[in-house]
Structure 1
Amino acid sequence: MVFFETGSGRVRGFRAAEEVVAALGIPYAAPPFGADRFKEPRPAAPWAGVRDCTRFGAVAPQSAELPGAPVWAPGDEDILTVNVWTPATDGGPGELPVLVWIHGGAYTFGSSAQPDFDGTALARAGLVVVTLNYRIGFEGFGHVPAADGVAYPANRGLLDQIAALRWVRGNIAAFGGDPGNVTVAGQSSGAASVACLMVMDRARGLFRRAIAHSPASPCYTPEIAAATTREIAAAAGCPATPEGLTATASEALVRAGDRVVEEYRRNPGSGSRHYDPSLYAPVLDGDTLPVDPLTGMDQGLSRDVDLLVCHTTEEYWLLDAVGSCAKVDTEERLAAFARDFGLPDGLVDAYREAAPQAPVLDVYLAVFGDLLFGAYADRLAAHHARAGGRAHLSRFDRRRGGPGATGTTVRAWHCADIPFAFGNLHDDALAFLIGGTPTPEDHALADRMVRAWADFARTGDPGWPAVGDGAAREMTWTTDDTRTVRDRPAGARALWAGAAFPLLRA
């Protein structure tokens, strides 16, 4: 057994591998339910004796059942926990760079217990790795109106992440980590959370570097968030008031959200949410999140944070393969899609001209993937660099020719880069992402990506030049170890300059 001292008490960990020890499910804040529901996170209560931390903590309320990961059980309340992997060395406290991981999942599902987020390989590379759970869905991002002088903060999930970073600052030295050399990282909505943290006053000084893989572009206005609450409350059969919402069980709000999502999916006339009905996103409330990340970066709010951005070449093909987005396979539906999102004139035509033989569905998936992830990732790096920050840009372009577990060719799609960056390729639960048994070339690619993350967390240099002078100096991750970039359709990058980000969707 392995023991660590934290500010709340002693914890018992375990040896995760020959060179790595770990402690899982350590509370960083109090359970956010009962009198604390829909409020800012409070410090975790101290405990006597030794707390067993050899298993992951409970996941946040959700309906998802993800491969290889635990599911939420109604009644699980102690959900605000962190997991730590650290090299099993005799080094002194506070020496090693720290990487804090924020999971994705459309702000609605996911957890730190997913098999691709195991920190063993990164710890072997010399990092102290922290992963965390935070409130998602309505609990974390649903709008709760003020009443009787009591205000309920928006972006409670982001506030949970900040609480976890504060826990890291106060406790990570006991695990060998340097609290002054913290990198916060995430993918998809986790990467978008990272971008928000970069421009939030409350998070200032808690990390010095940031990694954002496939950051999601949407942010919501308070009006959009309030409208979503009314839809959720109607589906749950409760008033859209603090009293009505707090009296409604988490399970009922989760089920209500699923019903609202299904209604959008069935209704092609429901606007932009029909194509990808994500109900939650960070809210530009003027308090917890005063500005969207792009605006904040333009203002120089994050210039002191080094940034590493990555996206995949074929982001949205995964969402199509797993059936979570609308099928757009006719010219009429493609034109409606462009109108619903207010895409710049000529943008879809540029994609079609670059691949004239491609079916309509492929054109739609290429445009949608860049709209939600690729073009936004490029713009984050460019804005950060323009304001004086250091930004590195990369793209994951690894494919596999044979069919994967989904029955389709395994593409360079959303989420496929994360098992490589964590160095986790062997878990059967990840086969659908990478296409079955990894090859020697796959392992070599994973080794390079792990090393880039470790080097960036240690020094701020992942191994290739930063973005500058308007140039997109982009590392491309492939199994043949080349840096040849397969550009997106000619002229499309310039056309994206006319798209409005953040993507405010009603």
Structure 2
Amino acid sequence: MTERPCGVEATFRTTSGRVRGRRDSDGITAVLGVPYAAPPFGDRRFRAPQPAPAWDGVRDCTAFGPIAPQSAELPGAPVWRPGDEDILTVNVWVPERADGGALPVFFWIHGGAYTFGSSAQPDFDGAALARAGLAVVSCNYRVGFEGFGQVPGFPDNRGLLDQAAALRWVRENIAAFGGDPGNVTVAGHSSGGGSVACLMAMDQTRGLFRRAIAHSVPSAFFTVELAAAVTGRIAAEAGVAPTADGLLSLRPEALVAASDKTTANCGSDPVTAIHAFDPVIFQPVVDGEVLPVDPLRALASGAAREVDLLVCHTLEEYWFLHAVGAVREVTTEAELADFAASLRLSAHLVDGYRAVMPDAPVLDRYLAIFGDARFGEYTTRLAEQHARAGGRAYLARFARRRGAARPWHTADIPFAFGNLDAVGADFLIGGVPDDHDRALSRRMLRSWADFAATGDPGWPAVTVGATPVKSWAVPGDHLTADDTSARRALWRDVRFDLLRSGQTAGLRAGGDSGA
């Protein structure tokens, strides 16, 4: 776990009561585990987040709060234990201010396939960003079934509703910590980046943030039918009916276990065809209420044109997921064809990757296609569609290679946070950082801080006619005036709404087919 801050105590007044944090030797004050909503259990389980109860006296906030129900055990991070309930908390890092001016606010949403993770992971420590002049906030929210499982009669997307509640906490409280509630940037990576995109599409978050940073945004969003099918499978695994009463009868640990078993069984008995290759069984649900439409369509319609957007993805996203055993291995042309069919990708696109990567083994082509389908192309299109609808958008790619270290999923985050020496970061970045890495980290962190403060990360914005790309690399970065790569050309006529409609084809146990 990240070490507790040491040094001088500092107190702040929130709408629920006073809190106590600690200031370190660099002048950064950390206030950790502050409730922004009531524990979402008991009578509040599966419901939208409710206001945090007030407290008397000064609440000690010098350690991270409990994390949401999950089975993951991540390096240096806390684990969830049955009985932990006060999970909806925020953390704040702020620097000492010489001039007393309000600080731009950077609000971080962790990733983890909408299933695991927490704000207490060491690579998400906000001290370095605070030293760059930001008020940094991170939050825990419901993940897995508690946050994204469909329960009849209860709201979908409870994890997104939690994030929206945390943003309302920021609007109401961040001024007490020195932050500017009128200058908030919401940011996230992977499912956290997907959450950022969803928040941009949601009506109830209007006015809660001014800018958005989204790294490696996944293209998967569930239909109501697919969410119901997943619930049916999990309920059957747990031995209950897929009804509100049946699901409420299960303790959180039982739902975690049933969800884990459902995920493990996807290789032989997938909910839909794509789950045989990538068994992520929780996604935001396009329910027409919390999430009116998928984010790409929302941005293309101009729904968030007032929000400045900075997106980034890595060049080899899925090599990481393969390395940690999170995706099925594909090594033959027949398996690759099955995979493409599961995503409704054309044979022309698969042939195109063979032409672009003529000497690559099947596994590498599979990972390249999957990475572009799930993250790279979707992330890039968000920027392009946002710009075409009148918004301001910027695009970056993480291209840093060093020895055997790949520019894979998650490698960019320790660099941008300035946490290259955090527990577990050596695996993410491929070894011990050198001087070139540290210089890259300073550049990436500065771009985040500048964008949060001014809306300009330091390179040209995407326009209707061109897609400039900043490539983060060592020993130096480079800028491409327009993204016209051969791989991107292969995706020109691919529609992501049709790829997602394929998710509902051939549903097993619990839903109807169709989009």
Range into which the TM-score falls when normalised by the shorter chain? over 0.9
Give yes or no for contact 1:312–1:396 (8 Å, CA) kept in 2: yes
Output aligned runs, 1:99-498, within 5 Å.
99-146=106-153, 152-267=154-269, 271-401=273-403, 409-483=404-478, 490-498=485-493
The runs of 5 or more residues in structure 2 that have no matched partner are: 1-8, 505-515
Structure 1 residue aligned with 2:88? 80
The runs of 5 or more residues in structure 1 that have no matched partner are: 147-151, 402-408
- Distance in 2 (alpha carbons) for counterparts of 1:207 and 1:270: 36
Specify the SS of the correspondent of 2:129: helix
Structure 2 residue aligned with 1:149? none
- Distance in 1 (alpha carbons) for counterparts of 2:485 and 2:447: 29
Give yes or no for contact 1:99–1:182 (8 Å, CA) kept in 2: yes
Q: Point out 4+ residue stretches in structure 1 off by more than 4 angstroms.
A: 267-270, 484-490
Which amino acid is 1:465 matched to? P
Q: Deviations over 1:90-140 (max 9, x none)?
A: 543x61100000001110000000011000000000000000000011101
- Distance in 2 (alpha carbons) for counterparts of 1:364 and 1:15: 48
Residue among 74, 79, 82 paired with 1:71: 79
Which amino acid is 2:407 matched to? A
Give yes or no for contact 1:410–1:434 (8 Å, CA) kept in 2: yes
- Distance in 1 (alpha carbons) for counterparts of 2:308 and 2:428: 29
Structure 1 stretch displaced more, 325-334 or 292-301? 292-301
* Alpha-carbon offset, residue 275 of structure 1: 0.7
Give yes or no for contact 2:212–2:309 (8 Å, CA) kept in 1: yes
- Distance in 2 (alpha carbons) for counterparts of 1:417 and 1:78: 31
Structure 2 length as normaliser, TM-score?
Answer: 0.93
Structure 2 residue aligned with 1:405? none
- Distance in 2 (alpha carbons) for counterparts of 1:428 and 1:456: 27
Q: Deviations over 1:474-504 (max 9, x none)?
A: 1000022231569999533233133332552
Give yes or no for contact 2:332–2:362 (8 Å, CA) kept in 1: yes
Instruction: Say yes or no: does 1:55 pair with 2:63.
Output: yes
* Alpha-carbon offset, residue 470 of structure 1: 2.9
- Distance in 1 (alpha carbons) for counterparts of 2:329 and 2:192: 26
Q: Deviations over 1:327-379 (max 9, x none)?
A: 00001100111111101331111111112111100000000001100000011
Computed over aligned residues only, the root mean square deviation of the Cα atoms, in angstroms, reads 1.6
Which amino acid is 1:97 matched to? P
Structure 1 stretch displaced more, 263-272 or 312-321? 263-272
- Distance in 2 (alpha carbons) for counterparts of 1:347 and 1:428: 40
Which amino acid is 2:370 matched to? F
Give yes or no for contact 1:128–1:177 (8 Å, CA) kept in 2: yes
Specify the SS of the correspondent of 2:496: coil
Identical amino acids, percent of aligned pairs = 62
Structure 2 residue aligned with 1:404? none
Instruction: Say yes or no: does 1:34 pair with 2:42.
Output: yes
- Distance in 2 (alpha carbons) for counterparts of 1:183 and 1:51: 27
- Distance in 2 (alpha carbons) for counterparts of 1:230 and 1:270: 13
Specify whether residues 486 and 464 from structure 1 end up closer, same or farther in structure 2 by C-alpha distance, changes over 3 A only.
closer
* Alpha-carbon offset, residue 434 of structure 1: 1.2
Give yes or no for contact 2:217–2:378 (8 Å, CA) kept in 1: yes
| Number of equivalenced pairs | 493
Specify the SS of the correspondent of 2:240: coil
Specify the SS of the correspondent of 1:380: helix
